[in-house]
Structure 1
Amino acid sequence: MSAVLTARPPEPVEPATPVNAPKPLLAAPQSRLAIAVLWLFVLVPFAALAAAVPVAWGWGMSPLDATMAVVAYLISGFGIAAGYHRYFTHGSFKAPRWLRVTLAVAGSLAIEGSPTQWVADHRRHHAFADREGDPHSPWRYGASIGALVKGLFFAHVGWLFNREVSNRDRFAPDLVADRDLRVVDRLFLPLVLVSVFAPALIGGLATMSWAGALTGFFWGSLVRIALLHHVTWSVNSICHVVGDRPFTSKDKATNFWPLAILSFGESWHNLHHADPTCARHGVLRGQIDPAGRLIWIFEKLGWATDVRWPDAGRLAAKTITR
């Protein structure tokens, strides 16, 4: 198989640029329309998530609604954790072209941004973690209680409305140059529409009723999108403030076990920042890492190669002795 078909994205370091022509940290600012759309996609699903418990109590969730919500959550969540994050951002394994495109599409269904922009933001985060230049550090305003409360809100959701945009040419030049990823980037809006309206269409056709379409949209789209968004954003906020730090890293990243399953293992964030290219984040006994297990399955099926599994020597060197 050619190198093109099994390309591994580069490690999360800033690409070298000529001294006389440095690429800027930021690209053109987000438009006011983009900010308005962001508000829509943050507030509407969040309102649905907040209403989920009383609605379920009085109205209920059908088996079809539950199945659509779970399946969509798994597809889009694994697309983010195993695809956008461990594969595209950090090159934790090599994948054939079909799997590369599949992971990009699955991650797009999470509605967290196009693959190239998501990767650019995350590589910038690693380049400047918890320092000036980090797009979403909760320590942005200081370490006092008031500053940290403000910083947690910013790291969780506020940074999305900051007009600063990470420069894709600087932080994700490999994805910018990839023809397949450029196509997926251009198809991001249609994929968003599929993610939002497919559950309603399936629910309506399966039950031949508007009620089925409405409940499918509520559970399979709004609640599912909001839950995945806030779990992902919690890794940016909570996992840099609360939790354990068994490994040394150059920042304040922590392991926060309550989010391990819902985040597909992404909340083992301290290990990730200590060893960013590692394909498994939950490396200690009892640490569940669904995305790491999915990559293991890919490897067993011959779909993933050159997987960067935990190395005992690296882990021992980074372990904090107590």
Structure 2
Amino acid sequence: MTTTLDESAGGAAPPSKGPKPVTVGRRKNYAQLGVYIFVLGPFAALIAAVPLAWGWGLTWVDVILAFAFFYFTGHGVTVGYHRYFTHGSFKAKRPLKVFLAIAGSMAVQGPPIIWVADHRRHHAFSDKEGDPHSPWLYGTGPIALTKGFWHAHMGWMFDRSLTNKERFAPDLLADKDIVKVNNTFVIWTVLTFLLPAVLGGLITWSWWGALTAFFWAGLVRVAILHHVTWSTNSICHMIGDRPFVSRDKAANVWPLAILSFGESWHNLHHADPTCARHGVKKGQIDTSARIIWFFEKFGWVHSVRWPTQARLAKISAGSDVT
């Protein structure tokens, strides 16, 4: 398949020169171990959350810290990793660019270059062979869709094949700032668990406060954010409304809008990938777009690709947006 980056990812990065494979190499053993630890570890904490809360409670300090870190790291993914680095929905000044890369890294969903390469590949082959996490790769029967849901939601991450970064993220590989953040991903991962514990300990002035904050605002918060993000890959490609025409099965799932910071207005996103706002209709909450709007008002970003009536009319009619 010869789909180019400017066709599939909305021109977020220049296409690489010459044909290159979609995947290249396999994840090394230590990296694969890291995937298991940082995917299954928080997930285990999420499973344990209910009985643990019943046994020794959940304090307001834990709730506030969990909410703050969920909001901060979640928007690091949606505003930074997704709308900025992957799709070029706006241009950011250097300090904000680095800040967004760090905030996204602290969501523990992978280093920025790998995340972006995977997502651009997803758009290049959305719901077709080559898509790393489509739920439609195994068929349309009940068993096939169950297998597809698991694969799209989290199973695909255990595949050891690596998306070709040179093909799908040449712009980020050439950005020294992003390469530095990418190469220090372990530091940001440690900090995303350490900072809630430190703050919880200082606020309560106790080791117990540090432990509970680590559990709720660290492990459980990361696990919930993981599953919200993964739901966009799985649920939002299986069910929902499709008011705009896209080349795949991406759909809007309104119950996820608040938790996903507007990402679950997924049909519009796949119809017009570079658009900075995904919730374009009245009443569609999109906090990621609101944050981009604030950044623009403060002069931290520019060239924002806001939706226009002309663009919306084109994708409603099924025409390509360029």
TM over 0.5: yes
- Hey, what's the Cα distance between the residues in 2 that align with 1:259 and 1:12? 26
1:204 is displaced (CA, Å) by 2.2
- Alignment partner of 1:134 out of 131, 135, 145: 131
Closer/same/farther in 2, CA of residues 151 and 12 from structure 1, 3 Å limit: farther
1:317 is displaced (CA, Å) by 2.2
8 A Cα contact 1:13 1:123, kept in partner: no
8 A Cα contact 1:83 1:104, kept in partner: yes
Aligned to 2:183: 186
Aligned to 1:163: 160
Aligned to 1:5: none
- Hey, what's the Cα distance between the residues in 2 that align with 1:145 and 1:199? 42
Closer/same/farther in 2, CA of residues 10 and 318 from structure 1, 3 Å limit: closer
- Alignment partner of 1:37 out of 26, 34, 37: 34
Counterpart code for 2:90: F
Aligned to 2:15: 15
- Alignment partner of 1:248 out of 245, 255, 260: 245
Counterpart code for 1:92: S
- Hey, what's the Cα distance between the residues in 1 that align with 2:279 and 2:92? 22
Counterpart code for 1:298: F
| 2:126 aligned counterpart, secondary structure | coil
Q: Does 1:307 align with 2:314?
A: no
Note the 1:110-129 alignment, pairs <5 A.
110-129=107-126
4+ residue runs over 4 A deviation:
none
- Hey, what's the Cα distance between the residues in 1 that align with 2:156 and 2:295? 34
Q: Does 1:153 align with 2:144?
A: no
Closer/same/farther in 2, CA of residues 320 and 153 from structure 1, 3 Å limit: farther
8 A Cα contact 2:14 2:170, kept in partner: no
8 A Cα contact 1:246 1:320, kept in partner: no
- Alignment partner of 2:284 out of 287, 292, 296: 287
| CA offset digits 1:7-55 (Å, max 9, x no partner) | xx9725771423xxx3221122112322222112122211221222333
- Hey, what's the Cα distance between the residues in 1 that align with 2:197 and 2:303? 40
- Alignment partner of 1:203 out of 197, 200, 204: 200
- Hey, what's the Cα distance between the residues in 1 that align with 2:190 and 2:59? 23
TM-score w.r.t. the length of structure 2 is 0.93
Q: Does 1:71 align with 2:52?
A: no
- Hey, what's the Cα distance between the residues in 2 that align with 1:59 and 1:286? 39
Q: Does 1:87 align with 2:84?
A: yes
- Hey, what's the Cα distance between the residues in 2 that align with 1:13 and 1:91? 8
Aligned to 1:227: 224
TM-score w.r.t. the length of structure 1 is 0.93
Aligned to 2:94: 97
Percent identical among aligned pairs is 58
Unaligned runs of 5+ in 1: 1-8
Q: CA-atom RMSD, angstroms?
A: 1.6
8 A Cα contact 1:117 1:166, kept in partner: yes
| 1:165 aligned counterpart, secondary structure | strand
- Hey, what's the Cα distance between the residues in 1 that align with 2:146 and 2:216? 31
